[in-house]
A and B are shown apart, each in its own frame.
Chain A
Amino acid sequence: MPTPTTSQRPESDLYTPLSGVPLTAGQLPRGAAPLTLLVVALAALGLWQFADWSAAACAVLGALVYTLLIYVWSRAVEGSRKATDRFVTAVVTCAFLLALLPLISVVFTVLSHGLARFDTEFFSYSMRGVVGEGGGAYHAIMGTLIITALATLISVPVGMLSAIYLVEYGRGRLAKAITFFVDVMTGIPSIVAGLFAYALFALIFGPGVRMGIMGAVALSVLMIPVVVRSTEEMLKLVPNELREASYALAVPKWRTITKVVLPTALAGIATGVTLAIARVIGETAPLLITVGITSSDNFNPFDGRMATLSVFSYYEYVNPGVPPQFSLDRAWAAALTLIIIVMVLNLIARLISRLFAPKTRG
């Protein structure tokens, strides 16, 4: 008479062990996924270079082929659970690589065109009296720095104080309305900000006015919502316990905010401000309307046209001289300079967040 086993039970209840499932399962060889990706990428590269397909088509095709290949292979060897995992991983990887392609392409293009005039003359001369070869963007670099600094000077106090109001004091309708309009302001097109600043100053100084400060106002319209948003998020991250600890020590509210809340959130706020600067420093449209362009040095933001890197680059491109190559080279060099400035600002943001972060270990 055979001994009864669990498998002969008519219905399985909760206590039935999942016996019979082996602990080992098929596995793809180590490094299967990256190697497949490499092979597919090389194939796509080959199609682009030798079969003369378009780069975008090759990239998308490569992504699809890789995803399909790794899914089918994994399903055959490893089973459906692992295959789904591989599939999602492949989709995420491909999406990342596809997103990276335009970035690499931009950096590569700007570098290859911009390095031609990336020399000391470019950084020490203005365009005064320059026709054709030579000249530089010293006036534009200074203009960009001055106007952005002014915009920062306007938007950081306004933005930070608004955020403090929203987080620490704001209740009810007014706070909700401010939050709503800050969100709306985040989305306004930069040209609208430029037109606003132009209209504002035209009311006071008459039409046709061009000043650096107008550009700064336009940029701060774009910058304030970003500063408010990032500061707000950072202040919200400060634990309420710290505020309570401070109140319990009989510290008044405003002093709690300045001495406890702000220092705790300082790293994040500084990072947010730096990123906001990086966001507006390359704006072209509002500066085109409000500041215009000039070929000589003008470092006074309250008197007449100024040059800025983005507008400089634009003008050199649309109004090249004869032959056009010198102008085009200057335009690309200006673009490269702008990218480098933005990159440095981002690095500074990281440095700030590391330096100012509250330390847990001494």
Chain B
Amino acid sequence: MAKRIEVKDLDIYYDKFLAVQGVSMTIQPRSVTALIGPSGCGKSTFLRTLNRMHELVPNARVDGKIFMDDDDLYGPGVDPVNVRRQIGMVFQRPNPFPTMSIYDNVAAGLKLNNKRMRRSEMDDVVERALRSANLWEEVKDRLGKPGSGLSGGQQQRLCIARAIAVQPDVLLMDEPCSALDPISTQAIEDLMLELKEKYTIVIVTHNMQQAARVSDMTGFFNLQGVGKPGELVEIDETTKIFSTPSKKATEDYISGRFG
């Protein structure tokens, strides 16, 4: 459980357009790493390369290396499906499967992968995932109801439960709270603090207070200019980034003096 990720000189392309350039960082296990930066600077794109979702876009590709512990994620013969089995993802907009009940949504990762499981085992997995996502008390009496009938915040926690039900090593979150109200956001932030005991968590956020609240490490992405590739300006401990960043651009962005 909870693996370290090492990124070395990663260039990310959409067809011929270089979207993100030269990213190198180490993501520590059992911690929350936040990625901040202005819109369009490639945070989400970078996040999606970590579980090889990036290549689902036609003609998208990457150069460079990403290691998870000792495995090269982009090595020859690596099956993206197996990568995603170990690195789960939560998206910006809650996206429960509309044809499935709450129960089936949580069990989807197991059922769709055709894992044979006894009903009681499955029940256990679903309950554990929902409890970890702080959703169990709210939905335990209506597990058979459709997942899309829940509120936005509940749907997002359902998606988190769905992602952790398959017990990944790493959990990627792409602006998981941007569509949610402050109370649901609070619930999900608390959840992240609990989950980091067991998982490596990487979160993209536009909310700097959120990054400051939940993360141990913070990476700042920036764009040199319009049409130029995004890049990682610096990554350091969150307390350091938010008090004494070593780069001027970081300080400008964090203090709100950014263009």
Interfacial residues, chain A to chain B (CB-CB below 8 A)? 171, 239, 241-242, 244-252, 255-256, 259-260, 263-264, 266, 358-362
Residues of chain B within 8 A (CB-CB) of A266 are 99
**Chain-A contact segment, one of B67-75, B90-98, B181-189, B222-230:** B90-98
5 A-B pairs with least C-beta separation? A362-B145, A358-B98, A250-B85, A248-B89, A250-B84
Q: Which residues of A contact B149 (CB under 8 A)?
A: 359-362
The interface residues of chain B lying within 8 Å CB-to-CB of A263 are: 99
> Which chain A positions have C-beta within 8 A of B117?
none
In the complex the two chains form, what is the Cα distance from A362 to B105 in whole Å?
A: 15
Among B51, B95, B97, B99, max chain A CB count under 10 A is at: B99
A359-B146, A360-B148, A362-B149 known; A249 vs B98 contact (CB < 8 Å): no
Question: Are A362 and B144 CB-contacts (below 8 A) given A248-B51, A249-B88?
Answer: yes
- Given known pairs A249-B163, A360-B98, the reply for A244 and B148 (CB within 8 Å) is no
A242-B95, A361-B146 are known contacts. Are A250 and B53 too (CB-CB below 8 A)? no
Q: Judging by beta carbons under 8 Å apart, are A250 and B99 in contact? A: no
In the complex, are the beta carbons of B166 and A250 less than 8 A apart? yes
Question: What total count of A-B pairs have CB within 8 Å?
Answer: 89
In the complex the two chains form, is A171's CB within 8 Å of B84's CB? no
- Closest-by-CB residue of B relative to A251 is B112
Knowing A250-B82, A358-B148 touch, does A241 contact B95 (C-beta < 8 A)? Answer: yes
A171 to B93, CA, bound (A): 28
Residues of B at the A interface (CB closer than 8 Å) are 51, 53, 56, 58, 81-85, 88-89, 91, 93, 95-99, 101, 108-109, 111-114, 142, 144-146, 148-149, 159, 162-163, 166
Chain B residues lying within 8 Å of A362, measured Cβ to Cβ, are 101, 142, 144-146, 149
Given contacts A249-B109, A249-B163, A255-B112, contact A264 B95 (CB under 8 A): no
Closest partner residue, chain A, to B105 (CB atom): A245
Q: How far is the CA of A174 from the CA of B81 in the complex (A)?
A: 27
- B109 is contacted by which of A244, A251, A264, A360 (Cβ under 8 Å)? A251
Q: Which residue of B lies closest to A171 (CB)?
A: B58
Could you jot down 5 A-B contacts, CB within 8 Å? A245-B91, A247-B53, A252-B81, A263-B99, A264-B97
Contacts of B144 in A (CB 8 A): 362
What separation, in Å, do the CA atoms of A251 and B108 have in the docked complex?
A: 9
